[in-house]
Structures are given as C-alpha cells and as structure tokens.
With several copies, the nearest count.
Chain A
Amino acid sequence: MSDVKKFMYLNRRAPYGTIYAWESLEVILIGAAFDQEVSLMCMDDGVYQLVKGSDTSQSDMKNFMPTYRTLGDYGVRHMYVDKASLEARGLTQDDLIEVAWEDFETEEEVDNIVEIVDADQVAKLMAESEVVFS
C-alpha cells in the first residue's frame, strides 16, 4: 500500500448552525502535515461553507470562513461544488470564495481551485477517492 492516499472530505452541512463544518475544517488543517492527495466536496447545505461575505460580528461566534480561502496552502488540490445543490439555493460561482493554489516545487499555479461539477462528475470523483471523511 502506498503511503499517499486520495482523501475526500465530504461537506454536506451549513456552517454555524452546527459545528460540523468548523471541526471538519480543523481535520483538513491538521491533515495537511500528512501530505496526502486531498480534495473537498461540498454538496447539499455544504455549499454554504464556501459562500463569501460571512459576518459574525453580531453573533459572538468565531468567523472561521476566511480559513477556507487558505486551504490551497494546506495541500488541498481541489474544492468541488455540486452544481445541483448550488442552483437549488439560488447561488452561482460569483457567490463563492476563490482559493488559489501553488506548487512551490514546480511553481505550477492555479488561480482558483473552487470548481463546480455536475452529478456524474461528483459520483465519479467520490468513487475515485480512497478515503472519504464525513
């Protein structure tokens, strides 16, 4: 068995109403140290995790949304968003954050790794993963 696995973090929950979004993000941050091949999949209410403009100044809750923008620096290579989930919620790519990625060895750069995918692609991407974190 190779020591590099394809990790998929599956996010289906809205932020703030429950802690799942935030604590799942903590797994990704810690997981970066293990140098796996990491993707994120946002579907259902999980697409709300990537919507920009969160303001918790009147909630007395920690605003963890800016952390998503840094995931490229934590070794996350792809952040997929399910198209149908996004559309049902009246959202478009313009509503979502942009996350840049750079390979410091090859100097390969990607401006934005947030990518909208359709149902067939979602199914295929999840099937190709080796470990799914829920």
Chain B
Amino acid sequence: MKLAVQVNEGPYQHQASDSAYHFTKAALEKGHEVFRVFFYHDGVLNGTRLTTPPQDDRNIVNRWVELAEKYDLDLVLCVAAAQRRGLVDEGEAQRNGKDATNIAPKFRISGLGQLIEAAIQSDRLVVFGD
C-alpha cells in the first residue's frame, strides 16, 4: 500500500506528531511505501534543527530525521505555513531577507500542491492533528 501522511501539530505541544511518527515507522517496517509526509499548520515546527529537548525525553525532530535517512522518506514542510511560523531554509532566507536558517536536514520546504499530489498518488491519506 502507498501512504501519504499529514501532520498538523508541532512537536511536544500535541501528541499528533508522536502518533504520526509511530504510524509511519510501523508502516515502513511492514514494507509499505510512504509516498510523502506532509507537515501543515503548526506541523511545520517538526522541521527545526534548533530544538534541545530534555535529556530524559524523546527527540522528536531527530527521530523524523533518522527515519528519513533509513527509508529515504520525503519530509515536506508547507511553505505558507512555514513562513507564518518562522521555519526557514537557505532559499527562503534569501527570498525573504532572513539572516539565519533553522530547518533540519532531510526536511524540505515546498508548496501545498505537494499535499494534493500525495493524496492523488497514494492509496490512503492518513491525517494526524489536534
């Protein structure tokens, strides 16, 4: 089965990102294909490399990065949502005159069309949010 996963909430504040991660990992381990994980609304906050969670807690951002490295996952942050919330890669920094970036490796910023395309190309869209 080919899956599209949508994540609507940021890490830690809501459990949605945890649920999406565990679901995605389980699907990959069962041999299913994950076409794309699309981060929308506050979900774009999963893609910052600047978090330092407590030592005795999970590192949500790194978990996504490691899963992406292992399975060559496509992790996409919605550009409009990212701009509102201050998620920035090199291209965005140049376009919008920002003096820093904060995006984590393996994440990329792109348009909402990536969500629509994922929904069309996949057998199932699974949404996690608040």
Contacts and interface: CB of A to CB of B under 8 A. Distances in A.
Nearest to A23: B41
B127 A134 contact: yes
B58 A26 contact: no
A31 interface: yes
A2 to B, nearest CB: 10
Contacts of B125: 131-133
Interface residues of B, number: 29
Nearest to B122: A131
Given A7-B119, A133-B119, A26 B127 contact: no
Q: Tell me what chain B mostly uses at the interface: helix, strand, loop, or mixed.
A: mixed
Contacts of B8: 20
Interface string B63-74: 000000000000
B115 interface: yes
B61 to A, nearest CB: 14
B81 A62 contact: no
Q: Tell me what chain A mostly uses at the interface: helix, strand, loop, or mixed.
A: mixed
Nearest to B54: A62
Interface in A27-55: 27, 30-31, 33-34, 36
Given A26-B80, A34-B113, A34-B120, A60 B12 contact: no
Contact of A31 (B12, B13, B14, B116): B116
Given A27-B112, A30-B112, A61-B18, A5 B13 contact: no
B56 interface: yes
17 contacts: A16-B15, A18-B13, A18-B130, A19-B13, A19-B14, A19-B41, A23-B81, A27-B40, A27-B115, A27-B116, A30-B112, A30-B113, A34-B116, A60-B22, A62-B54, A131-B125, A133-B127
Given A34-B120, A62-B58, 8 more contacts: A26-B112, A30-B112, A59-B18, A60-B18, A61-B15, A131-B125, A133-B127, A134-B127
